[in-house]
Structure 1
Amino acid sequence: MPSPAQVPRRLSVLPFRGSAAVAEGLLSWTMLRSPAWIRLLPDVYVHRNGYRDGDHRMWCDAVALRLPPGAAIAGRSAAFLWGADLLGLDASTPGSSPPTFRTAGRGTRPPVTVLLPRAARLRPHPRVRPVRSVLPDTDRTRFAGLPVTTALRTAFDLGRQGPRVDALVAVEALLHRRVVKLPALRAYSAAHAGWPGAALLREVLALAEPLCESPMETRLRLLLLDAGLGPLTAQHDVHDARGRFVARVDLAWPALRVAVEYDGDHHRERAHFRQDVARLNALRAAGWLVVRFTADDVLRHPHATVALVRQALRERATR
């Protein structure tokens, strides 16, 4: 029978290298074989109380312990660390299928994306998605204690990866978090114009709107722009005839007083529903026509969504 595992305070929450813990005399290999410890990666363990299978930050912590010199967490994993959670992007993008890791009975878990210098080596693992590229020191930093691509490099990389809507969602999410500024990203893109995907990034940067507040709002906006219903204003402040603030709407054609709103799941809560009713009535009193959509409208019924907006604009234009 293995000896009962002790739990040193410094190893009670975060992943750690087993060999380092044994070398320091904190644990023995026999202890690490007990049910108190979970092996995440080769030589990387976490205490069972700190294990959360769907916690991407835990997996980033674990993978970082195995990275060779010069490598960094990158892509959507880096965006997650910078505060823009794009990990569920695949589920809301019909036809897109970047790699994911499926665990029995636990659903789909995205792997940790890492950027490796071309000569670096890393043992393959289903929880790790390696990407090889040039990675100068100026494009790497430490954030939240982990080696990660800078926010600028993260946005540059994600903005070059199709589909176009996903690239725009990623860039706008990082812009909205204010960890990247649009002029700096444009300058960086121009300085790396020969890189793969640069043409897509240029198109994304021409469309990018830092004021968009959610991935679905970005998708709705792009859907309407592609249908020829632009230009339109994001996050427009509506005032009544006396100049008093009424509401801020997601997307607007101010001259026509037409607004388009995306309603997420939180709008179904009772308190939110009451606020929405009062807000909608105030917008109508101010002379605005508001058309509201859900994720299902945008993702599964795009033609009907565009038709409703087009009809609203036509009604206002002919008044």
Structure 2
Amino acid sequence: MPSPARVPPRLAFRPFLGSAAVADGLVTWTMLRGRSWRRLLPDVHVHRDGYRVDDHRMWCDAVALALPTGGVIAGRSAAYLWGVDLLDRDTPVAVLLPRAARMRAHPRLRVTRSAVPESDRTRFGRLPVTTALRTAFDLGRQAPREEALVAVDALLHRRVVKLPTLRAYADARPGWPGLPLLREVLALAEPLAESPMETRLRLLLLDAGLPPATAQHDVRDAAGRLVGRVDLAWPGLRVAVEYDGDHHRERTHFRQDVARLNALRAVGWVVLRFTADDVLRHPDRTVALVAQALRERHPAP
């Protein structure tokens, strides 16, 4: 049995331009049409060992090779590169292109036309990308409001953007599309929010007219010792709300949660815990439970 053809190290795992690889004598066009290679975009290929259909970084690498002059990876794809994963399984790569630039349409590509001055662009691991500041500015202007807030909260929490800087950036760009939405998002933004679902839960309660909660509040006992940190709190009423993600179902985490909740109850706190199902499918019930807890703890007139 013949041994498999040796794959040049340059082409082993990352996307590459077929024309450049052929010109360098690394492969031939006949080889690229074989089963060892996958064509991702026009003239962009990857070896089958480096191909993962839903690997967004692979698609970002591929798109970067095909970008026309002035184009950058942007939006949720830029946020992903900045360490904030807001992507669905098969989300296309978002790019910003100058109005005169052309790029062939593809199902894994979403193109927006917009000015991107040099100050708004940088490189992240060889890829041209909008700065974290421009990324937050763009995502905060994109409806729906809840997703805009989720994106801005996540970038703020990642500490790649600061809220005062983002506010100043927005103020310096009057007339841009979506600015009214961004201003509303900035008024609601919470850098301490630790997950998209925590942001959604907080927004649900605010939109229902409940008083604003304190995010990531440290609960201490009478001696000042830390009892635990809660996601959302009304300290004066000793009421807390927490979002339980899948990691809370792990055995070790579950045991820690039980001990922490018992300690919080021992110092007089009421803690309500909600899941994604509560927030997304039963919002009215979730709001009613929190409102009831706040009423019960509110001092009588």
TM-score range relative to shorter protein = over 0.9
Cα displacement (A) at 1:6: 3.2
Residue 77 of structure 1 aligns with which residue? 77
Q: Does the alignment pair 1:274 with 2:255?
A: yes
**Displaced runs of 4 or more, over 4 A:** none
8 Å Cα contact 1:70/1:137 also seen in 2: no
Q: Tell me the distance in 1 between the aligned counterparts of 2:125 and 2:199.
A: 28
Residue 291 of structure 1 aligns with which residue? 272
SS in 2 for 1:40: strand
Residue 97 of structure 2 aligns with which residue? 116
Provide TM-score, normalisation by structure 2. Answer: 0.97
Cα displacement (A) at 1:127: 0.8
Which amino acid is 1:274 matched to? R
List runs of 5+ in structure 2 lacking aligned partners.
none
Which of 274, 279, 301 is residue 282 of structure 2 equivalent to? Answer: 301
Q: Tell me the distance in 1 between the aligned counterparts of 2:131 and 2:41.
A: 25
Provide TM-score, normalisation by structure 1. Answer: 0.92
Residue 145 of structure 2 aligns with which residue? 164
Which amino acid is 2:29 matched to? W
Q: Does the alignment pair 1:264 with 2:239?
A: no
SS in 2 for 1:290: strand
8 Å Cα contact 1:5/1:34 also seen in 2: no
Q: Tell me the distance in 1 between the aligned counterparts of 2:134 and 2:71.
A: 13
Which of 128, 140, 161 is residue 109 of structure 2 equivalent to? Answer: 128
SS in 1 for 2:237: coil
SS in 1 for 2:77: helix
Identity of aligned residues (%): 77
Q: Tell me the distance in 1 between the aligned counterparts of 2:194 and 2:92.
A: 25
Which of 209, 212, 225 is residue 231 of structure 1 equivalent to? Answer: 212
Residue 48 of structure 2 aligns with which residue? 48
Residue 193 of structure 1 aligns with which residue? 174
Q: Does the alignment pair 1:11 with 2:11?
A: yes
SS in 2 for 1:305: helix
Residue 98 of structure 1 aligns with which residue? none
Cα displacement (A) at 1:229: 1.2
Which amino acid is 1:133 matched to? S
Q: Tell me the distance in 1 between the aligned counterparts of 2:120 and 2:253.
A: 42
Cα displacement (A) at 1:5: 4.3
Which amino acid is 2:50 matched to? G
Q: Tell me the distance in 2 between the aligned counterparts of 1:71 and 1:29.
A: 28
CA RMSD of aligned residues (A): 1.2
Q: Tell me the distance in 1 between the aligned counterparts of 2:65 and 2:192.
A: 36
Q: Tell me the distance in 2 between the aligned counterparts of 1:198 and 1:39.
A: 39
SS in 2 for 1:65: helix
Residue 101 of structure 1 aligns with which residue? none
